[in-house]
Structure 1
Amino acid sequence: MAKPNFNDLLAFVTVARSGSFTRAAVQLGVTQSAVSQIVSSLETRLKIRLLTRTTRSVSLTAAGERLLHTVGHRFDEIEAELDALTELRDKPAGTVRITCGDSIIKTTLLPRLTPLLLQYPDIKLEFDINYGFRDIVADRFDAGVRFSGTVAQDMIAVPIGPPVRMAVVAAPDYFARHPAPQHPRDLAAHRCIDIRFPTYDGVDAWEFERQGKKLKVRVEGQLVFNSTVHIADAAVNGLGIAYLPEDEFSPHLAEGRLVRVLEDWCEPFSGFHLYYPSRRQPSPAFSLVVDALRVDRSPPGDGSG
């Protein structure tokens, strides 16, 4: 019996992920016609169509989606095992891809990973700034960063920061023109600066908790952003009330450019976690990244003997 050849499966997975025979050909280092012929031969052998082709696009059929879901991660595991062979080299090497938000790069990822990059020049980092809930397996990221409560149960989640508190803030000038809210429900009568996450159809509600009581409030205002970068500046300019992790407002709060309200409704919760698939064998480069970011949350005195 002839041994199976998996080149056709690899070609199919590459086309399916890239959405293009041309891009797949570049990645595989062959001609576009060769890729097309290989995938067509696979469809002939399986006696089922895997891809729907038009002059402008390539999309998966139901059978194609099933095959990609079944075999795609197998090639990722093989690639990870091959990457792990860099342990035999003098220095770890390779690219680590992480999807995350803006602020965590500035406050945590770059400060912690800069020494690692200086020590290991063959390690490369690629950051994808994205506020949606990316499928890191399908999109071929090594890891993502989220709050722990939003990480899927089949992922390994490593704490990379302390507990987080949200903050509700506005400029003194804003509160000079509008009475400060005394309860989260009062926010409905205020101009609020909101954020629209790609994962949701609309803007998400602001979440509060006090003494075990949880509350969600939907707010409105003149400004909606799709990232957190400009929200603090908009609040400083008196354009409304903002709601983000308190670290993003710290300099403005310390210098009086922003005033905090509803502090008793902003209880701390488990902070940012680096998450990645539990089934994947990490490369040496990725293991070093995890170790550099990991935060020990053991109670003081644990392990001191």
Structure 2
Amino acid sequence: MMREELGDLVVFMAVAEERSFTRASVRLGLSQSAVSHTVRRLEESIGLKLLNRTSRRVSTTDAGEKLLDALRPSFGQINARIEEIRMLGDAPRGLVRLTASKAAARAVLWPKISQIVRDYPEVQIELNLESRLTDLAEDRFDAGVRLREFVSPDMIAVKIGPLIRMVAVAAPEYFRKHGVPKHPSDLDDHACLSLRFSSHAPAYDWEFEKEGEAIVKKVSGPLIFSESDLCIDAAKEGHGIAFVTEPEVIDDIEDGKLRRVLADWCPPFDGYHLCYSGRRQISSAFRLVIDRLRYRD
């Protein structure tokens, strides 16, 4: 394989993973036209269309998905080995400041952060837990954890977890008393436990999708929370239906404390990403955190 073709594959992977030529160009530090030209050159070289392009989204074709599946483990191993070689120099040290929601911290951050500080005693990690989307530069954070849809296009986004889905849940006793919603429109007749992540923001709308039909529901109920923990507790106590990420309640669902509804209206979507400015200088400690958190399929 020629060196130019290897570079083309790197560009294709970035576009396929970001599902956007714009975000891929930011991630790679290239112009959007250069990224587009590179992908076209690769498609011409292979003789197959690898990406479907519309005005709103980019997706992989069957051939593109097969190529992506082949490339990910190989490039993942290469990146891991390079990072190991880099670490042969001075041991990582210093403070890394991260901000994330409690749900993200529990789902993807804590197990790896716990191991990092064991393996590297001179690395210190500050973890700020709040649901609002903080300004990373203003609050002097090295990085933040966001769901992919909330990552600004001018930020570098590193995938740190698998696809996730939202779930609508309530206590079994609640559904025995009030019935089970079969369609998102049925939620108008139910007590819904809302989340408002900032005092200046409206309550979070519930988003559903099935067979190409998308529905955004403005719900109402007796309680509004700024964090999901108490919202889930309220659902378990029978106050209404909560709409939260699946990892937060999977144990309660399996134990029978909560019952899931409208599952066919809650498809999986891009999960948590570590996002940071491409203009910032990356310390050895932060580089270590990025590599350890990076999700490898």
Question: Normalising by structure 1, what TM-score?
Answer: 0.67
1:88 Cα deviation after fit: 10
Alpha-carbon separation, structure 2, partners of 1:255 and 1:204:
27
Deviation of residue 107 (structure 1)? 2.2
- State the Cα distance separating 1:248 from its structure 2 match: 0.9
Q: What's the counterpart of residue 237 of structure 1? A: 237
Tell me which residue corresponds to 1:177. Answer: 177
Q: Which residue of 2 aligns with 1:156?
A: 156
Give the partner amino acid of 2:124: K
User: Which structure 2 residue ranges, 5 or more long, are not aligned?
Assistant: 1-86
The one-character-per-residue Cα deviations of 1:42-84 (angstroms, maximum 9, x if unpaired) are xxxxxxxxxxxxxxxxxxxxxxxxxxxxxxxxxxxxxxxxxxx
Equivalent position of 1:121 in the other structure? 121
Displacement of 1:128 in angstroms is: 1.3
Q: Whole-Å Cα distance in 1 between the matches of residues 201 and 154 of structure 2?
A: 25
Which residue number corresponds to residue 194 of structure 2?
Answer: 194
The corresponding residue for 2:211 is 211
Q: Which structure 2 residues correspond to residues 250-269 of structure 1 after superposition, within 5 A?
A: 250-269=250-269
Superposed, 1:1-305 pairs within 5 Å as 90-198=90-198, 200-297=200-297
Contact 1:94 1:123 in 2 (8 A): yes
Distance 1:293 1:267 in 2: 24
Alpha carbons 1:136, 1:144 under 8 Å: kept: yes
C-alpha distance in structure 2 between counterparts of 1:150 and 1:235, whole Å: 26
Q: Which amino acid aligns with 1:174?
A: Y
The amino acid that maps onto 2:190 is H
Cα distance, 1:182 vs structure 2: 1.1
Task: After TM superposition, give the deviation of residue 211 of structure 1 in Å.
Answer: 1.5
Contact 1:133 1:199 in 2 (8 A): no
Q: Structure 2-normalised TM-score?
A: 0.68
Deviation at 1:247, TM superposition (A): 1.2
Q: Work out the number of aligned pairs and report it.
A: 211
- Counterpart-to-counterpart distance in 1, 2:265 and 2:280: 40
- State the SS of the aligned residue for 1:296: coil
1:89 deviation in Å? 7.5
Query: Partner amino acid for 1:204?
Result: Y
C-alpha distance 200-206 of structure 1, shift in aligned 2 (>3 A): farther
The 3-state SS of whatever aligns with 2:182 is coil
Residue-by-residue CA offset, 1:197-237 (whole Å, 9 max, x unaligned) = 11752202111111122110011111111011122211111
Give the counterpart letter for 2:296 in structure 1: D
Cα deviation, 1:99-141, whole Å, max 9, x if unaligned, reads 1100221222110121210111111111111222211012110
Regions of 4+ moved over 6 Å: none
Which residue type is aligned with residue 165 of structure 2?
Answer: R
Q: Percent identity?
A: 43
Please, what is the CA RMSD of the aligned residues? Answer: 1.6
CA contact (8 A) 1:190 1:241 kept: yes
Distance (whole Å) between structure 1 residues aligned to residue 278 and residue 217 of structure 2: 35
**Cα pair 1:147 1:273 within 8 Å, conserved:** yes
Q: In 1, distance between residues paired with 2:133 and 2:98? A: 13
Cα distance in 1, alignment partners of residues 132 and 106 from structure 2: 19
Secondary structure of 1:193's counterpart equals strand
**Secondary structure at 1:194 match in 2:** strand
Verify the 8 A CA contact 1:132 1:199 in the aligned structure 2.
Answer: no
